[in-house]
Amino acid sequence: PDKGAQARAIFNVYFLFSIIGSLTALALYFSKSFINERLTSFGDLPFLNLLSLFVLFNAPAFLIQYFYLLLKRYKSLVVFGAVSFSFQLLVVVLPIYMGLTLREVVLGLIAWALLKYIWGVGVVARHGHWQLDFIFLKKYLPLFWPLLLLGLIGKGSEFASGLVVSALFADEKAFAVYRFGAREFPLAVLMVGALATALLPEVSADMEKGMERIKETTRRISKWLYPLSIFSMLASPFVFPVVFNPDFKESAYIFNIFTLLLASRILMPQVVAMGRQKNYILTVAALLEVGLLIGLSWWWGLVYGLRGVAFAMVVAFVFHRFILIIYNWKILDIAPGRYVDIKSWVFYNFLLMVAFLVSLQL
Domain ranges of the chain: 1-154, 156-362
Residue 317, classed as helix, strand or coil, is helix
Residue 211 confidence (pLDDT): 95
* Percent composition of the chain: helix, strand, coil (DSSP 3-state, to 5): 85, 0, 15
On the CB side of 32, CA atoms within 13 Å amount to 14
d(CA 305, CA 303): 6
Q: Which of 320, 220, 328 is nearest to 274 (CA)?
A: 328
Give how far Cα 115 sits from Cα of 54, 219, 273, Å.
11, 34, 30
Handedness of CA 315, 320, 323, 324 (dihedral sign): negative
CB 275 within 8 A of CB 210: yes
d(CA 175, CA 355): 26
d(CA 170, CA 194): 38
Residue 210 confidence (pLDDT): 92
Burial label for 139, CB within 10 Å (0-12, 13-18, 19+), is: exposed
Residue 42 confidence (pLDDT): 52
Give how far Cα 233 sits from Cα of 107, 123, 263, Å.
29, 38, 14
Instruction: Kindly report the number of other CB atoms within 10 A of residue 224's CB atom.
Output: 11
d(CA 49, CA 110): 11
Q: What is the DSSP string of 142-189?
A: HHHHHHHHHHHHTTHHHHHHHHHHHHH---HHHHHHHHHH----HHHH
d(CA 149, CA 143): 12
d(CA 357, CA 359): 5
CB 325 within 8 A of CB 267: yes
CB 127 within 8 A of CB 66: no
On the CB side of 213, CA atoms within 13 Å amount to 18
pTM greater than the 0.85 cutoff: no
Residue 43 confidence (pLDDT): 52
d(CA 135, CA 159): 36
Residue 357 confidence (pLDDT): 96
Residue 36 confidence (pLDDT): 60
- What is the number of residues in the chain? 362
Q: What is the DSSP string of 94-155?
A: HHHHTT--HHHHHHHHHHHHHHHHHHHHHHHHHH------HHHHHHHHHHHHHHHHHHHHTT
Residue 324 confidence (pLDDT): 96
CB 148 within 8 A of CB 30: no
pLDDT in tens, the chain (362 residues): 567 778 888 898 888 888 888 887 888 777 766 666 655 555 555 566 787 888 888 888 878 887 887 787 878 887 887 888 788 878 877 776 777 777 787 888 889 999 999 999 999 999 988 888 887 777 766 666 666 666 656 556 666 777 788 778 877 678 778 877 878 877 787 778 778 877 887 888 899 999 999 999 999 999 999 999 999 999 999 988 887 778 788 899 999 999 999 999 999 999 999 889 888 888 889 889 988 998 999 999 999 999 999 999 999 999 999 999 999 999 999 999 999 999 999 999 999 999 999 999 98
